[in-house]
Amino acid sequence: MEILDVLFPARCTECGRFGEVLCLQCFPHRPPLIRDLDGFSVIALGAYEGALRRAVLAMKSGRRDILRAFAVRLASLVADDAILVGIPTTRSRRHHRGFDCGVLLASDVASHSSSRAQRLLDARGIPQHGRSGVARRLAIGRFSIRCTELISSRVTLVDDVCTTGTTMLECARILMRAQHSVVRALTVAVVP
């Protein structure tokens, strides 16, 4: 046990109960939600509402302990030996949060499974946060391939929330143009 765990024990983000960041009473293990997205499945821990939504917002505000707890749960949904590619965020969002949520989530999921994370994408432009559904769907050209020298592989995309699916579809198209095959996506939550 680390000294920080003694000084600052884990508390549920929803009810405040000591023990876990995501206690089983507030965040019970449920079968994953699966959404079909134009050729691949998006697998989520749940719908982006209620306690799960509040935990995701806390994670996006900088709570890495919540990110690690979500990564442990997502790791149980990862196929063996998957290549995990986190969907990056823009430089301004990284600067504001202090980390890149999708990329760090992919790395943490990999550390709790037999998969590995690779940074294959870069983001540019304006973040999707606060945009309408129509504006999100029209926002293309926000990502580029980071490295084209890699051998083509079967990829699982990783992100925090799937809203309209536009971001995941754009990233999948870019990876497919670079000869990668996107087989599925993992996300903490999907918007119902």
CATH of the domain at 161: 3.40.50
Flag whether 24 is in a domain.
Answer: no
**Rounded distance, CA 45 to CA 140, Å?**
27
Find, among 16, 15, 20, the residue nearest to 5 by Cα.
Answer: 20
Mean pLDDT throughout 126-139?
A: 53
What was the pLDDT predicted at 145?
85
Amino acid identity, position 69: A
Flag whether 9 is in a domain.
Answer: no
What phi, psi does 16 have (nearest 5°)?
85, 0
Burial environment of residue 134 by CB neighbours within 10 A (0 to 12, 13 to 18, 19 or more): exposed
Flag whether 137 is in a domain.
Answer: yes
Provide the domain count of the chain. 1
Flag whether 12 is in a domain.
Answer: no
3-state SS assignment for residue 8 = coil
Contact 105, 67 (CB under 8 A): yes
Of residues 139 and 2, more confidence is placed in: 2
Flag whether 16 is in a domain.
Answer: no
- Of 18-32, 33-47, 140-154, the one with minimum mean pLDDT is 140-154
Flag whether 6 is in a domain.
Answer: no
Flag whether 13 is in a domain.
Answer: no
In angstroms, the Cα distances linking 65 to 25, 29, 153 are 18, 18, 30
Flag whether 21 is in a domain.
Answer: no
DSSP 72-85: HHHHTTPPTT-EEE
Each residue's pLDDT tens digit, 166-189: 999 999 999 999 889 999 999 999
Domain of residue 158 covers 30-190
